Structure 1
Amino acid sequence: MRKQMAAAAMASTAVVASVGLAGPAAAQDEWIMPDVRGEILETAINDVRAVTGDVELDIRLQPNVNQVVYNYSNWAVCATSPRPDREISQKTKRVIFALRRLNEKC
């Protein structure tokens, strides 16, 4: 009986330790920019936030034409800075999206 209790205690300790190591995305050492080219802007922003967590990002939008971006579901991403698979700076927290209207080409 004691062996079973000790084994159960060790198993629960291992689970707690492995769960304790998992933290929010913002606590990671680096943030790698996902490839969001071609995605709807709203989805692209959500994908980047999934990497960076709840930190406040400096998101900048650059549409092809001189227009104001109101509805994030009406725009698609042509390019990003940083480029895909590059590190997002934890110092500046800046992500730039080059955009196009859904009916336009990049």
Structure 2
Amino acid sequence: MEKKTSRPNLKTKQFSTLHIEIFEQLLVSGKTNWDLNRQFGYTKKSHSVVDHSRKVMYKLLILENLKREENLDKVIYPRLYKFWWKRLLDKNKPALLGKAVVALYYEERSALTRKNC
């Protein structure tokens, strides 16, 4: 039996535009992490949405010259501080997009090709 996966085949390993998109959705959509995981193609219990969002938050703190230790609550509970994070994101989005690479995905292989491998 073939293992079924719903995870996107992300080719890009560095900081990408997908990280920014996921963080922005976390702030504005009002969806749970489980719903965001499903929306972006990750499994229900995946930690990717949290990991990708934290990567963006840490970059925003650096751009604002803020210390990680002093803003730990804001990183752990981003939805409680969503207006604060949204303001930082809007202010620094051009700089973040300048550092981010475009997210690339592996092409989906057909079921026939998978059987032949």
The TM-score with structure 2 as length reference comes to: 0.31
Select the structure with the greater relative contact order (CA < 8 A; seq sep ≥ 6).
Answer: 2
| Structure ID, larger Rg | 1
Structure with the higher fraction of residues in strand conformation: 1
Structure with the higher fraction of residues in helix conformation: 2
